[in-house]
């Protein structure tokens, strides 16, 4: 494939002029960018052309403008053109996933934990898959070759759906934060207990990180160098989370309560690590968050408690992710992939759909402890 990527804004993305420059916003992100006075007229023209539905892909100025935002989840990468010559394709297989009628059925197949009853723990999941895989495929189909798909386009198409899903579910996460904040004022000992449970979930993810990345390095050779570099960045992050937990409880690690959501989420990632480089990339992005506020929202609440130093570990971890823009790291994985098959697009989409449900479900389950 030729390397140059052209972008179009997600349908949820809006660019607008501000006093000092421009604002780009979507339901999950709002970003202000200052524009130098000498550039303002040109940029305003570009905004007008985008708003009037101009042909975005062939307009060099618009592409230059959009490329500035390529590091943020506000754009779809249109399928690239194939370079002439023989084309290598990447094809993954995941029978257990594709044979499942929905996320719950897939989890039934995957579940290694005798103490988790999937039907019971995930009764709030739909019976069938809900994302339109054909639509995701059509947004990533390489025009000249009907049955080849651009992995970067599939990645950005999947990203749009998972961000939309997260934003629709964000009410629960906000309720959780509000309730624990209220609990802090009402019953601080109980607040510390709940916070320890909440942080334990993050601890589980960081502790199990290696058991996901190890198999990925082994089974996904096309992206193993990139995953190795990423693994170096992630090492020992569980210690940071544990540092915070230890301020709140001296409960031994073996007694930490990990939710079915977080345990199955890790199992899905391990499965992806063995089956699909594209899907694995989409899942790493989910695990790394979406957009990063100035500081960790949970850390902020801890800071206001009578054990303010409990915020130090989680905040340090949060800042590592924010500084390194970790949610975008998997883009370096996807860029290494050749065109992919339609089945690979489907596998990646299904993996993302089940993972984002588990991810969003976590807040719901922790809320039940309150
Ligand atoms: Fe990270």
State the residue range of the domain holding 356: 137-368
Q: What is the mean pLDDT of residues 293-320?
A: 94
CATH no. for residue 331? 1.20.910.10
Give distance in angstroms: CA of 261 to centre of ligand 1. 19
Q: Does residue 164 lie within any of the structural domains?
A: yes
Identify whether 12 is part of a domain: yes
Confidence of residue 175 (pLDDT cuts 50, 70, 90): very high
Ligand 1 mean position, distance from CA 322 (Å): 8
183 and 40 share one domain: no
Cα(46) to centroid(ligand 1), Å = 35
Residue 27 has pLDDT above 70, yes or no: yes
Q: Are 66 and 1 in contact (CB under 8 A)?
A: no
Residue 66 within a domain: yes
Cα of 320 from ligand 1 centre, angstroms: 7
Proportion of the chain above pLDDT 90, given as a percent: 87
Judge if 244 and 361 occupy the same domain: yes
Q: In this structure, is residue 83 part of a structural domain?
A: no
pLDDT at residue 139 in the model = 96
Separation between Cα atoms, residue 11 and residue 75, nearest integer Å: 9
**Mean pLDDT across the stretch 84-89?**
82
pLDDT band for position 25 (cuts 50, 70, 90) = very high
CA atoms within a 13 Å half-sphere pointing along the CA-CB vector of 300: 9
Asked if residue 42 is part of any domain, the answer here is yes
Please check whether residue 194 lies inside any domain of the structure. yes
Query: Is 335 inside any structural domain?
Result: yes
Alpha helix (H) ranges present in the chain? 37-51, 60-67, 95-98, 103-110, 118-121, 133-138, 151-186, 188-219, 224-234, 237-248, 260-275, 277-287, 297-303, 311-323, 330-334, 342-368
What is the reported pLDDT for 134?
Answer: 97
Give residue 352 CA to ligand 1 midpoint distance, Å: 18
**Number of domains into which the chain is organized:** 2
Chosen domain end from 60, 77, 94: 77
Q: Within this chain, do residues 164 and 292 fall inside the same structural domain, yes or no? A: yes
| pLDDT value at 2 more than 70 | no
Is the pLDDT confidence value at 86 over 90?
Answer: no
pLDDT value at residue 369: 81
* Domain final residue pick, 27, 56, 77: 77
Indicate whether 205 and 319 sit together in one domain: yes
* Least confident stretch, 39-53, 200-214, 272-286: 39-53
Average pLDDT, the chain: 94
Residue 292 pLDDT greater than 90, yes or no: no
Tell how far the Cα of 30 is from the centroid of ligand 1, in angstroms.
22
Q: Are residues 70 and 153 both part of a single domain?
A: no
Q: Are residues 148 and 72 in the same domain?
A: no
Is 108 among the domain residues?
no
Of 55, 77, 99, which marks where a domain is finished?
77
Same-domain pairing of 288 and 161: yes
- Rounded distance from Cα 25 to ligand 1 centre (Å): 24
Mean pLDDT, residues 165-184 taken together: 94
C-alpha of residue 168 to centroid of ligand 1, in Å: 24
Half-sphere exposure of 85 (CA within 13 A, CB side): 4
């Amino acid at each position: 494939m030729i390397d140059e990527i052209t972008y179009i804004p997600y349908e949820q993305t809006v660019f607008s002029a501000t006093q000092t420059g421009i604002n780009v916003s979507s339901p999950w992100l709002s970003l202000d960018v200052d524009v130098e006075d000498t550039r303002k007229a040109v940029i305003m023209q570009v905004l007008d052309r985008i708003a009037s539905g101009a042909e975005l892909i062939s307009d060099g100025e618009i592409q230059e403008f959009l490329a500035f935002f390529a590091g943020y989840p506000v754009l779809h990468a249109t399928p690239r053109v194939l370079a002439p010559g023989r084309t290598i394709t990447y094809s993954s297989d995941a029978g257990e996933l594709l044979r499942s009628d929905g996320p719950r059925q897939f989890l039934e197949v995957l579940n290694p934990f005798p103490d988790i009853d999937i039907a019971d723990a995930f009764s709030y999941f739909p019976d069938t898959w809900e994302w339109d895989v054909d639509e995701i495929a059509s947004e990533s189909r390489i025009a000249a070759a009907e049955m080849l798909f651009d992995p970067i386009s599939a990645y950005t198409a999947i990203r749009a759906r998972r961000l939309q899903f997260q934003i629709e579910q964000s009410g629960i996460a906000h309720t959780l934060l509000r309730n624990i904040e209220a609990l802090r004022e009402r019953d601080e000992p109980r607040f510390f207990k709940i916070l320890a449970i909440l942080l334990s979930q993050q601890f589980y993810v960081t502790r199990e990180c290696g058991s996901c990345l190890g198999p990925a390095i082994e089974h996904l050779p096309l992206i193993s160098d990139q995953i190795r570099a990423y693994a170096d960045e992630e090492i020992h992050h569980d210690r940071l989370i544990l540092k915070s937990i230890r301020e709140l409880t001296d409960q031994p690690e073996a007694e930490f309560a990990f939710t079915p959501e977080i345990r199955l989420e890790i199992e899905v990632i391990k499965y992806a690590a063995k089956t699909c480089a594209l899907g694995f990339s989409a899942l790493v992005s989910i695990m790394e968050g979406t957009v990063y506020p100035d500081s960790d929202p949970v850390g902020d609440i801890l800071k206001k408690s009578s054990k303010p130093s409990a915020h130090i570990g989680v905040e340090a971890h949060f800042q590592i992710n924010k500084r390194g823009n970790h949610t975008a790291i998997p883009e370096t994985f996807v860029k290494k992939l050749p065109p992919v098959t339609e089945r690979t697009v489907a596998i990646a989409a299904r993996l993302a759909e089940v993972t984002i449900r588990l991810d969003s479900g976590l807040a719901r389950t922790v809320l039940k402890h309150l």
